[in-house]
Amino acid sequence: MYSASDLRKNLRIKLEGDPYIITEFNFVKPGKGQALYRCKLKNMITGNQFERTFRSVDVFESADLQEKKMQYLYEEGGKYYFMDNASYEQIALSADQVGDAVHFLIDNLEVEILLFEDKPLGISLPNFVDLTVTRADPWAKGDSVSGNSKPVILQTGYQIQAPPFIEEGEKIRVDTRTGEYLTRVKG
């Protein structure tokens, strides 16, 4: 259990049966009366945000959240399937739950699935993923108008900017947090 004085940014609490994450936090002490805690909360299931003010006597349950290592299997009909490597149990996440991570999902990729009371909420990717370039237009020497990068299409269909020397068929390392090219991968 948490008291109002334990509240802080990024704390996960259970409120009215749903998990919430505190996205903003302010402590207010009026001249008279008790301290107030103003929080902006985000529902971790629906994504809805709202503000709420708590008093110092309020108490909260911690959200029963777990992260489980799982392996990406395949996509079918807008659902993304993952398997627990220990129990071989499979779960499906919707496109909304996967979000922008879809740009970096490749077969057998190990990810962290966030669960609330055994219901999947979303995924966390590894920071770096190695992907194959499926399309890279040739770069003309002396083409300084386009700068020192060109658009390339990755095996997932995602387009990023890469250095002009990157060619089709090469593997490159991409930062999944920013979606940016990092380096060429040998072999």
| Residue linked to tokens 């990024």 | 10
CA dist 8 and 37 (Å) reads 10
CATH code that applies to domain 65-124: 2.40.50.140
Alpha helices in the chain (DSSP H): 95-98
Looking at residue 29, what is its pLDDT? 86
| Contact predicate 6/57, CB 8 Å | no
Nearest partner of 38 among 29, 60, 62, judged by Cα:
29
Which of these CATH numbers, 2.30.30.30, 2.160.10.10, 3.40.50.2000, 3.90.550.10, describes 2-62?
A: 2.30.30.30
CA angle 9, 10, 13 (to 5 degrees): 105
183, two tokens: 């380096």
Tell me which amino acid residue 145 is: V
CA dist 165 and 149 (Å) reads 9
What is the signed CA dihedral for 23, 29, 34, 39, rounded to 10 degrees? -10
Q: Note the pLDDT tens digit of each residue in 2-53.
A: 888 888 998 999 998 889 999 999 998 888 888 899 999 999 888 889 999 9
Asked if the domains 2-62 and 128-185 are classified in one and the same CATH topology, the answer is no
As a whole number, mean pLDDT of residues 78-99 equals 91
Q: Where are the domains of the chain?
A: 2-62, 65-124, 128-185
Burial class (CB in 10 A: 0-12, 13-18, 19+), 34: exposed
CA dist 31 and 166 (Å) reads 63
User: At the fourth CATH level, which superfamily is domain 128-185?
Assistant: Nucleic acid-binding proteins (2.40.50.140)
CA dist 105 and 85 (Å) reads 17
Q: Note the pLDDT tens digit of each residue in 133-164.
A: 999 988 766 655 556 889 999 999 999 999 99
Q: Note the pLDDT tens digit of each residue in 39-88.
A: 999 998 888 899 999 998 899 998 888 889 999 999 999 999 999 988 99
Looking at residue 77, what is its pLDDT? 92
**Largest Cα span, the chain:** 72
The 8-class DSSP code of residue 32 comes to: S
